[in-house]
Amino acid sequence: MDTGLGLQDYANPTWFTQFFRIVSYMPFDSNEAAINQLSRYGYKPEDVKHIILTHMHFDHIGGLSDFPYTKVHVYKKEYDAFIHRKGIISAAYVPRHIAHKPYFEFYEDTGETWFEFDAIKINGFDPEMYFIPMPYHTVGMCGIAIKTEGGWHFHCGDAAADLRRDDVPGWMMSLILGPYMPRLREFSARHPEIHMTASHMFLDFFGNQAGA
């Protein structure tokens, strides 16, 4: 799911990445790039067959070009927002991140549900995976639900976050992330068996990650 920053971002960051790394205290170390983390586990880039995107902001897709032969699954509304960038906030969409022309597979709404969330089944996976559209942070922001041997994993992308900084008030976080946090916390409390994560988080974020 997502790639984080890629090698080109560490070598040649955009002004927006420079800004973001300062305000978010992002560790800016190319050892953190997915391609370098995977190689430490013995994987080559071509071993990665599928990348599923929560959304197309720079800090989520910068590494796509490190995996040029990988199929990229994306919600069509998010891809359209990336292509038709509008306004200052769209500086977080960086055209060069797809300059290598990734092999995209696009998804439209289907009317399916996963628990009480709207959902779109992702093609070709058994056990199954779903996009969970939670538009606000971007118009095509999706969580991703993955069925694993150990149960469901629900990755909430940037519909939730936990930066734990005293200088960022709650209203500003909901301005950036949208209205989903109360619903996601309530869902997490009702479903302690579901492992939940967010893109920017500490491990005990949802309170049910003991030992994670």
CA distance 185 to 162: 12
Question: In the complex with Zn ion, which residue's Cβ is closer, 2 or 66?
Answer: 2
Measuring CA to CA, how many Å separate 89 from each of 33, 43, 57, 86, 203?
A: 24, 35, 10, 8, 28
In eight-state DSSP terms, residue 122 is P
- Residues 119-158: x where in contact with Zn ion by CB under 5 A, - otherwise, as a string: ---------------------------------------x
Decide if 63 contacts 5 (C-beta within 8 A): yes
H-run or E-run covering 21: helix 15-23
Rounded distance between C-alpha atoms, residue 156 and residue 188, angstroms: 11
Judged by CB under 5 A, the stretch of 25-33, 38-46, 53-61, 82-90 that binds Zn ion is: 53-61
Of the candidates 1, 8, 4, 15, the one whose C-alpha atom is nearest the C-alpha of residue 100 is: 8
C-beta closer to Zn ion: residue 66 or 158 = 158
Stretch that binds Zn ion, among 50-58, 94-102, 161-169, 175-183 (CB under 5 A): 50-58
CB of 89 or CB of 189, closer to Zn ion: 89
97 is an interface residue for Zn ion by CB under 5 A: no
List, in sequence order, every residue forming a beta bridge with 195; answer none if it has no partner.
Answer: 153
CB neighbour list of residue 27: distance below 8 Å, 6 or more residues apart: none
Nearer to Zn ion, 88 or 210 (CB): 88
Q: How many residues bind Zn ion (CB under 5 A)?
A: 2
Among residues 35, 52, 56, 57, the one that binds Zn ion under rule CB under 5 A: 57
Return the structure tokens found at 114. Answer: 């996963």
59: DSSP letter? H
Candidates 19-27, 49-57, 123-131, 186-194: pick the segment binding Zn ion (CB under 5 A): 49-57
Of all residues in the shown chain, the one whose CB is closest to Zn ion is: 57
- Contact string 169-208 vs Zn ion (x = CB under 5 A): ----------------------------------------
Stretch that binds Zn ion, among 28-36, 41-49, 56-64, 83-91 (CB under 5 A): 56-64
Cβ neighbour number for residue 24 with a 10 Å cutoff? 14
- Contacts with Zn ion by CB under 5 A lie at 57, 158
